[in-house]
Structure formats: C-alpha cells, structure tokens
Structure 1
Amino acid sequence: MAEDRLACRECHHVNDPDAQTCEHCGSSSLTEDWAGYVIVTQPEESQIAEEMNVAQAGAYALKVR
C-alpha cells in the first residue's frame, strides 16, 4: 500500500517502508509525510518526469513535506 511507504525528500522516489536510504539517490532523508503518487515508466518521453527532474523509471511522490 502506497500510504505505508517512505518518500525521499531529495528526489521524491517512493521507497519501501523499511528503507533506511533512498533506492535511487542514496539519501537518508525519508519521510512518511507525502501526498500524490505518480508512476513514471518512460522518463525520457514524459512531461511530468521532465517537470519533476526525474531521469529513472519508478514511483514518485508529487508533494513531499
């Protein structure tokens, strides 16, 4: 379930609830306080990925507090 997962404050990647660091950028700044969820499958062709500065496919939080 997405609500249990942790979002990275640096890159917004959504990580497993037991993660200690972000799978994508390695940051240890993870939070449960996030909203919105987008899955990027082809970042090179995605306008949302471009606006979010996302270069890797994956799940991302739209708003991270």
Structure 2
Amino acid sequence: MSSRDKVCRSCKVFVKGDMCPLCNQANFSRSWKGVIIVVDPNESEIAKLLEIKAPGRYCLWVK
C-alpha cells in the first residue's frame, strides 16, 4: 500500500491529526475500502442506514 489516508477504526471517519475529531480515540487503520461523503446526515438515507451523525468523509469498511 502507498500512503493511504488513515481512518478511525471506531467511527470510520477519515482523520488527519493524532486524535479522531468525532470519538476522541487514536485507534487508526490505513486498511480500508469504499468512501462515502456525508454533507447532511439528517437528510441522507445512507447516513441513517450507517448510523452516521456528523458530516464528513467516511469509509465503508475498515480492518
């Protein structure tokens, strides 16, 4: 793998820093698949299905 973005294993959000901005954990993975971008989680059927409560960029699967 190349320099892939890191993803929080807990909430599956893409993270740039040392702590997840949503769950305040530091458990990351660079092994993930699929991307979903949520703009308005209250209006998104997919966000409701995936139980996403905050706007952002998420992966669909994380190892």
Instruction: Name the TM tier (shorter chain).
Output: 0.7 to 0.9
Identity of aligned residues (%): 30
Aligned to 2:43: 45
Instruction: Report the number of matched residues.
Output: 61
TM-score scaled by structure 2?
0.87
Q: Which runs of 4+ in 1 moved over 3 A?
A: none
Which segments of 5 or more consecutive residues in structure 1 lack a partner in the other structure?
none
SS at 1:4 equivalent: coil
SS at 2:46 equivalent: helix
TM-score scaled by structure 1?
0.85
CA RMSD between the two structures: 1.2
How far apart in 1 are the matches of 2:15 and 2:5?
6
How far apart in 1 are the matches of 2:20 and 2:5?
11
How far apart in 2 are the matches of 1:4 and 1:22?
16
SS at 2:48 equivalent: helix
Cα drift, residue 20 of structure 1: 1.6
Which segments of 5 or more consecutive residues in structure 2 lack a partner in the other structure?
none
Residue identity opposite 2:62 in structure 1: V
Q: Whose helix proportion is higher, 1 or 2?
A: 1
